[in-house]
Structure 1
Amino acid sequence: MNLVRSELAKIRTTNVWWILILIGVPLWAAAIWSAWLADPADAGTTTEVLGETITAPSTPEIVANFYTSGQYIGLFFVFLLGVLLMTNEVQHNTATATFLFTPRRTAVVAAKIAAAALVGVLWWAAGTVVNIAVGAVFLADRWGGAHLDDPTVWAGIALNGVAFALWAVFGVGLGVLIRSQIGASLAAAAIYFIGPLAATFGLFLLVKVAGEGAKTIMDFLPYGATAAVTGGSDSMPYWLAALVLLGYGAVTSLLGTTLIRRRDIA
């Protein structure tokens, strides 16, 4: 617990967290506005796209989406924060002091994972409180009520918190694996923003060759697993998607910790 408190102090006493908040607030407001534009008449409707029937989300799913507004950019910020927890140490040469005071390097990485997960949950909680406060007013105007008595809505909100914690853990794992702050940050941006686009294009080609069953591959990629965690997939249960995300964090953390234990941090 002393190590976890130390890692939380490193986050609290540096500029990173409030810089992310200053950038995130206007982006969150844009996400709220985008969710607000959803038309109640479109809930549950079906359309034909390239010969495939697409069913629009139901009212509870759309409401849950409103209460989780800001998820897209929020997940990236906690992902990046997890990356910086380790790479900042190397960038500013504080890793040497950290490991001199605590020579158990595995314990240090575990503390960073715990601190990142906690910050991810706190970020989710703060955003959820604001989303519910704003959403209850907006939804009562256009959607006939806040719908907070619907268990589907609360399930979406709760599972969104799981996604925030797991992406933070994944970020720490990536930061431990790639010591360079610039390299790890660029890798995080590529995984989060470019990865889904590349995967979607590759999956489109694969479906043409292997058939519709190939679409399940997307659920095993980070952002596809996130969508499945929060209820956006019919082919993978949320608990399996959570394990997939946790697996990304575990694998990168274990590989990175193995390298850290064997190499000179300086």
Structure 2
Amino acid sequence: MNLVRSELVKIRTTNVWWILAVVAVPLWGAAIWSAWALDPANAGETTELFGETIVAPDVAEIAATFYTAGQYIGLFFVFLLGVLLMTNEVQHSTATPTFLATPKRGSVVAAKLAAAAIVGLMWWAVGTVLNIVVGVAFLSERWGGSQLDDASVWGGIALNGVAFALWAVFGVGLGVLIRSQIGASLVAASLYFLGPLAATAGLIMLVQVAGEGVKDVMDYLPYGATNAVTGGSDSMPYWLAALVLLGYGAVTALAGTALVRRRDIA
């Protein structure tokens, strides 16, 4: 616990967290604004598009969209914060005193994972409070009810918190694996923003070759698993998607820890 508290102090006393928070505020506002475009009058309606039946979100799903607004950019910021939690140590040469104080490097990495998960949950909690304040006022005026009496809405909110914690853990794992601050940050951004596009393009080609059955592969990629965690997939239960995300963090953290133990940190 002393190690975890130490990692939380490092986050609190550096500029990274509030810089990310300041950038996140206008992006969160844009997410709320885009959620306002959802029309409850069309909830649950079905339409045909390219031969497939598309079902519009029901009222509870639209409400959950309000209460989880800002998830896309928020997940990236906690992912990046997790990456920087380790790479900052190398970049600013504070890793040496850290490992001198705690020679068991695996314990240091474990503390960073725990601290990142805590910060991810805190980010989710603040965003959720803001979303509820805005969402209740808007939904009550437009629909005559906040939909907070629906258990599925609270389920979506809670699973959103799980996603925030797991992406923060994944970020630490990536930061341990790639020591360079710039390199790890670029890989994180590419993986988060470009990865789904590349995976979708590859999946389209695979579908043409192997058939429709390969579509489920997307759920096992990081952002696909995130959608499944928050209820966006019919082919994967949320608990399995959470395990997939946790697996990404565990694999990268274990591989990175093995490298950290064997190489000179200076």
Q: Does the TM-score normalized on the shorter chain lie above 0.5?
A: yes
User: Structure 1: which 5+ runs fail to align?
Assistant: none
Match of 1:88 in 2: 88
Deviation at 1:71, TM superposition (A): 0.2
Q: Following superposition of structure 1 onto structure 2, how do residues 10-49 of structure 1 map, counting pairs within 5 Å?
A: 10-49=10-49
Aligned to 2:67: 67
In structure 1, what is the equivalent of residue 145 of structure 2? Answer: 145
- Mapped to 2, the partners of 1:80 and 1:187 lie a distance apart of 10
Q: CA RMSD in A?
A: 0.7
CA–CA separation in structure 2 for the residues paired with 1:191 and 1:102: 32
Q: What's the counterpart of residue 166 of structure 1?
A: 166
TM-score (norm 1): 0.99
Which residue of 2 is the match for residue 185 of structure 1? 185
Unpaired segments of 5 or more residues in structure 2? none
Question: Residue 227 of structure 1 corresponds to which residue in structure 2?
Answer: 227
Taking the aligned partners of 1:237 and 1:106, their CA distance within structure 2 comes to: 32
Query: By how many angstroms is 1:57 displaced?
Result: 1.4
Q: Deviations over 1:160-193 (max 9, x none)?
A: 0000000000000000000000000000001100
1:143 Cα deviation from its structure 2 partner: 2.3
Counterpart of 2:5 in structure 1 is 5
Look up the equivalent residue of 1:144 and give its one-letter code: G
The amino acid of 2:75's aligned partner reads L
| Alignment correspondent of 1:106 | 106
Deviations 1:41-81 (Å, cap 9, x if unpaired)?
Answer: 22111222221111121111111011000000000000000
Cα separation, 2, equivalents of 1:81 and 1:124: 14
Q: Which runs of 4+ in 1 moved over 2 A?
A: none
SS in structure 1 of the partner of residue 232 of structure 2: coil
Identity %: 78
Aligned positions of 1:242-261 closer than 5 A = 242-261=242-261
Secondary structure of the residue aligned to 1:231 is coil
How far apart, in 2, do the equivalents of 1:8 and 1:250 lie? 20
Partner letter of residue 167 of structure 2?
W
TM-score, scaled relative to structure 2 = 0.99
Q: 207-216 or 174-183: which moved more? A: 207-216
